[in-house]
Amino acid sequence: MQIKIQPTLAALTGLGGLCLIGCATMAESKMTISHAPFGQAPDGTPVQLYTLRNSRGSEAQICTYGGIVTSLKVADKHGKFGDVVLGYDTLDGYIEKSPHFGCLVGRYGNRIAKGKFTLNGKEYTLAVNNPPNSLHGGVMGFDKVVWKAKVLVSSTGPALELNYTSKDGEEGFPGNLKVAATYTLTEDNALRLDFIATTDADTVCNLTHHSYFNFAGKGEVLGHVVTIHADRFTPVDANMIPTGELRPVKGTPLDFTKPTSIGARINSDDEQIKLGGGYDHNWVVNQATPGQLTHAATVTEPTSGRVMEVWTTEPGIQFYTGNFLDGSITGKGGWTYQARNGFCFEPQHFPDSPNQPSFPTTVLKPGQTYQNTIIYKFSVR
């Protein structure tokens, strides 16, 4: 099924330029949304693959299993389109073995120390799936469930809303959490994610996105040039849990306040680099106002000329350089993924925030609405 979008009609559809696709009488346009079967989840639930295309030729493919961005095609400086995210050609790969390729992460992105936290005087126990910690929502996090899809019309580009309700007690977390995640492939070549969540009981919530990027097409990402607009980071202990300190990046290998290649200092003898096996840390975004959409990072790949800006409303951004890819995964087109063949920028709240009272809170209460926007904007130079 393919739906063609007429931007002028979409602009008339109400607040935010979004509406349900209820009428298919739309004029010819190069902005389209189509979908096709993409296999079945382990419990037999059918999975769909949605393809979003804008009028400039960019394309994002998103499957309802885990909200995974299975492909993201953007142009290089010569106008040639190529896929810039790691992953698999089929659903089976994501089900059988995936280090969170391209997925939605929740209910809590990143690590929670020892799989425990206390809320309102009660201790909650989570799955320890990254010993000795809980990671990315547990054994059956949001990356392993089938989301309900709703196609939207947007004046800014084709959009897909995914919905899921995480039940009270799921993976040890309290409260029924209702989540909506909307992906928009904008006309200015950005993949935008808007998260909204509500709960019926006090809980913790920290949602993010986990694509592994490589703008060169193949090989290591060490030549990619990174700028992170952050003067501080959260150093970690031997278990990769923040110590609670907000440490200045100045004078450390984690200083990306000026454009620096990923490989320039990744083999440093610095203690933090050794603990992470490379970069696997949270930076404190230089944010004028909490919750304000902020330009957090920029990545440039000199050969292809591809540029990505990362914008976020979150206080932190995790930069990870694929340190645990070890050649055991064969992905798209037969590419065997080795260490540092991809990098992630995961805008989010700080790791282990439920156990760190000095960090910005991740507690969500009934009557409150969790909101989080992530934008990956592409261009060339």
Supply the residues annotated as catalytic.
210, 346
8 A C-beta contact, residue 99 and residue 88: no
The tokens for 262 are 């990923």
CA distance 181 to 179: 7
Cβ neighbours of 139 (radius 10 Å): 13
Residue with tokens 């696997």: 280
**Alpha helices in the chain, H assignment, sequence order:** 7-10, 91-96, 271-276
Residue with tokens 């009428």: 23
Spatial neighbors of 110 by CB under 8 A, at least 6 apart, are: 135, 136, 206, 208, 282, 318, 346, 348, 350, 351, 352
8 A C-beta contact, residue 67 and residue 181: yes
